[in-house]
Amino acid sequence: MEHSQVTAKDYKVTNPVKWCAGCGNFSILSAIQDVLPETGIEKEKVVSISGIGCSSRFPYYMNTYGFHSLHGRASAIASGVKLANPKLSVWQVTGDGDSMAIGGNHFIHLVRRNININVVIFNNKIYGLTKGQYSPTTPKGSITKTSPDGTIENPFNPGELTMGSQGTFFARMVDTNPKMMRKVLKEAADHKGTSIVEVLQNCVIFSNKIHQEITGKDVRYDNQIFLEHGKPMLFGKEKEKGLILDNNRLKVVKIGENGITGDDILIHDTKTDCPNVHFMLSRMTLPEYPVAMGVIRAYDCTVYETLLNDQIIQAKENSDIKNVDDLLNSGDVFKI
């Protein structure tokens, strides 16, 4: 099948999609199915890899090759698939617990290696499949099944973790904005290297409305800022507010107040090698700042599997042993 003929429908399955009614996973699944035809990749070259969790049922709901792996091991499996066949388009779907608790070590090494795969983190800030335990991203003080008196742990910020692991691509989006999801996922697919996309996703059973402060219709314009490369960092319903740098810190300002004009607003640069501003953007939280959405970092860097393949070619050229038969018949051979 030629990719020009592929549509989102070709990625859909006929069997039931077994997530809870109202779960944010449905909109993420639909967005990925919408974006894949736009990548130009043949359908037969798309692979879905997951670990364990509600999100990790994803391969069953994609009409592609897939692998439902072990808890926390999706990054390792996805890395192996991509290195074995670099022509594949590999999509790793994982949750905040699967990727950052038991899978944390695999996650950071995948990111630092910069293997060309797309990682979509469904972040509902809870363990949903195992019935409501707190996860590595659960807000401090939250009451859950395993923290009846409130959590006492400092939560991970996936953006911080990605930057600290030398990540080249990090984006954030919400499950209530299909247009934003399609745009961000397309940029992730186009990026050469490990693309980390955090989706702020709602679990209607165990953490319902966990993201309401930024997704609610009455607050989303003021509490979210959608970033685009080369454009000023503006937000608000009338784009009347923006971000500037003040003493090496981000600061929210209002255009027209204290002499602030549109020319003072920071221009978003996803491509810079210096991650300082990207790091600050990923850390922004309410109430001082809006939460950063869109592609925050998309830095072009060397890709692991390309360098690995170059080394293999060079090693073959410099060796008399070209394959296993050559190896077995080299040196001293004992014949019976």
Structural domains present in the chain:
3-220 (3.40.50.970)
Token representation of residue 118? 């797309």
So what's the pLDDT on residue 316? 85
Residues of the chain with pLDDT under 70: 1-4
So what's the pLDDT on residue 1? 45
Burial class (CB in 10 A: 0-12, 13-18, 19+), 74: buried
Beta strand extents in 133-248 (DSSP E only): 169-174, 195-200, 224-227, 234-235, 241-246
Q: What is the pLDDT of residues 227-277, one digit of tens each?
A: 999 999 999 999 999 999 999 999 999 999 999 999 999 999 999 999 999
Cβ-contact 278, 297 below 8 angstroms: yes
133: DSSP letter = B
So what's the pLDDT on residue 156? 94
Cβ-contact 65, 50 below 8 angstroms: no
So what's the pLDDT on residue 320? 86
Cβ-contact 238, 266 below 8 angstroms: no
So what's the pLDDT on residue 327? 85
Rg of the chain in Å (alpha carbons): 22
The CA–CA distances, whole Å, from 134 to 81, 215, 308 equal 31, 21, 39
